Amino acid sequence: MTMNKLLILALAAASTATLLPAHAQTYQWKDAAGRTIISDTPPPATSGARAIGARTPAVVKEGVDDKTAAEPRSTAEKDMEFRKRQQEAREKAGKAEKEQAAAREKQENCDRARRNLATLESQQPVASVDDQGQRQLMDDEQRTREIEQARRYIAETCAQ
């Protein structure tokens, strides 16, 4: 039983030892002759090297000092930003939904006006309702006014 424990311990130590170099920092730069050099030691300060696999520094916004840009944000700040983005997304979706509803209503009104114009131009008898609720057939003058009004509405509202 102790032999198995020793074997497991040896395997664990060996696997841990093989993973340690994987976390080493590597650097890549071009020397004065233009050759690309990759090394685990930092380059000379004048070489303009960049670390491979290292985290890139945070982008500093104009008007923000380096200390503020490099500070990690708290969980509360992250949560507040997340909620703000959610609220903006909801507002955007609501606005888009209202615009779609308005476009649908406008299209329905235009379709209704076109059908009305087609009916008026068909020369079939058309009745209207007066103030007392009685149906009266339109005479030619009324029909002409209604046709002009329908055409104006379609021209102004339904132009696509």
Tens of pLDDT, residues 106-134 = 999 999 999 988 988 888 888 888 888 88
Q: pLDDT by residue (tens digit) across 41-70?
A: 778 776 555 555 544 444 444 444 545 555
Residue 113 · residue 159 · CB < 8 Å: no
pLDDT over threshold 80, residue 156: yes
Q: What pLDDT is attached to residue 58?
A: 42
d(CA 95, CA 41): 56
The single-letter code of the amino acid at 85 is R
**Contact in structure between 110 and 154 (CB atoms under 8 Å):** yes
pLDDT score of 129: 84
Could you tell me the pTM of the whole model? 0.43
Q: Considering only residues 56 and 40, tell me which one the structure prediction assigns the higher pLDDT.
A: 40
> What's the pLDDT tens digit per position in 78-104?
999 999 999 999 999 999 999 999 999
Q: For residue 94, what are its two tokens?
A: 């609501």
The helix/strand/coil state of 41 is coil
Q: Which of 28-32, 37-41, 62-66, 146-150 has the highest mean pLDDT?
A: 146-150
